Chain A
């Protein structure tokens, strides 16, 4: 449903990501089905739902880790809109080094555990042609500072870090290239509550300062309330409700969302 104003503004600025009818089946079982949404520059979209709701499948399809069966994922590249599903593998990889980033739930999946903290951040710069050792190390130091890792740890391997530090290092490695879109799978999952709060604050600051757009999958409604502008609720592979985050949480329109919101323990 587009109002007049919407049609006019859409002509001057376009969505960063336009997803239309995205579907993924696992044989006869539904992964996710007929998912459509637009993500605008600077927006954070939260996706919630219980285990098996299809939210992780959707994120993997968006990020190109899984091949979808149908639908379009149109990303506004620097050379114009391109359907990520139709991109050649080298083009997709190039985009993955510059414009798209992915933060895994388990930092071990996103880090190279045998390489130093500084190397983990710096090798992303080298992958796009940076060669000057001093400037790569300076950039790595700058990013370790931004994610609050002491610069004295730059030569340590991530295996010597706590879970919260590993997650912050993964975020530094993902964001050093100044991507335009970040996919995050349960970025605060598995962390202590106190560490989660610090990470949330860090992510909020980075999103604001870098003008990042993000798609965040989580089962934690408190996380999306604080981090996401918009919210999508999934059940059985389908989107049952989407809208402004506080509207979906405060005035849920779907039976399942009402159940989800009313099931949260109050502290």
Chain B
């Protein structure tokens, strides 16, 4: 479902004397449907960079990234937009929303853009918020003022409200208490059971051991600094 070959990435910082920073070289991986692969490696080794390249907000320098039928190296923006709507979900560590939009609408939005009706989207969004134990009193408020753990649960609800065939999870359990961590791990297991291909970053070793089928150390893709 997710297949990467011979991938390289570097950043050129034009406003800092054109410094060229290589971040990945020769990266390769594949994630099959129903499988969860965990990326490991020290911070700065390129785990999040790799994930953003699959999401499409970082460009690849050379190599290949395929998600489903789409080759990202050649994809038009509108093809990536369609991929994100239907096929590929992403739970990042940041929540970026229009201010003042209520939480239940933020979570329902991925369904609304797919054409699901407003009432059904709302029911499914609220079911997900309830499952993640977000207090009902918060559903009508904007998540911009929420605590870190609450915002993270909103992000997770958005990522699991539609059954994406491929999922990118960047530290999905990082700031959660034991009860909600358990809910998230169960959601991941259910997604695997229905055939989703999942690529995750988990600093939480017990969580990683429970949901990941394989680990991949990104350090092997880190270019040697010249």
Contacts and interface: CB of A to CB of B under 8 A. Distances in A.
Given A3-B75, A198-B100, A255 B57 contact: no
Interface string B112-126: 110000000000000
Contact of B77 (A1, A198, A230): A230
Interface in B1-60: 11-15, 52, 56-59
Nearest to B9: A251
A111 B65 CA distance: 49
A197 B98 contact: yes
A105 to B, nearest CB: 20
B15 A201 contact: no
Contacts of A254: 14
B197 to A, nearest CB: 21
A225 B57 contact: no
A72 B115 CA distance: 34
Contact of A226 (B13, B59, B81, B98): B98
Contacts of B113: 208
Nearest to B96: A225
Given A229-B81, A243-B77, A197 B100 contact: yes
A251 B59 contact: yes
Contacts of A204: 98
Q: Which size bracket describes the interface of A in this complex?
A: 20 to 34
B79 interface: yes
A40 B76 CA distance: 11
B59 A201 contact: no
Contacts of B15: 255, 258-259, 262
Given A258-B14, A258-B15, A246 B100 contact: no
Interface of A: 1, 3, 5-6, 40, 43, 194, 197-198, 200-201, 204, 208, 225-226, 229-230, 243-244, 246-247, 249-251, 253-255, 258-259, 262
16 contacts: A3-B71, A3-B74, A43-B78, A197-B99, A198-B100, A201-B101, A208-B112, A208-B113, A229-B81, A230-B77, A243-B77, A244-B81, A247-B57, A249-B57, A251-B11, A255-B15
Q: What are the 7 A-B residue pairs with the smallest beta carbon separation, nearest first?
A: A255-B14, A197-B99, A246-B57, A3-B74, A244-B77, A250-B57, A251-B58
Given A225-B96, A229-B78, A230-B77, 19 more contacts: A3-B76, A6-B79, A194-B100, A197-B99, A201-B98, A226-B97, A230-B78, A244-B56, A244-B80, A246-B57, A247-B56, A247-B58, A251-B52, A251-B57, A251-B58, A251-B59, A255-B15, A258-B14, A259-B15
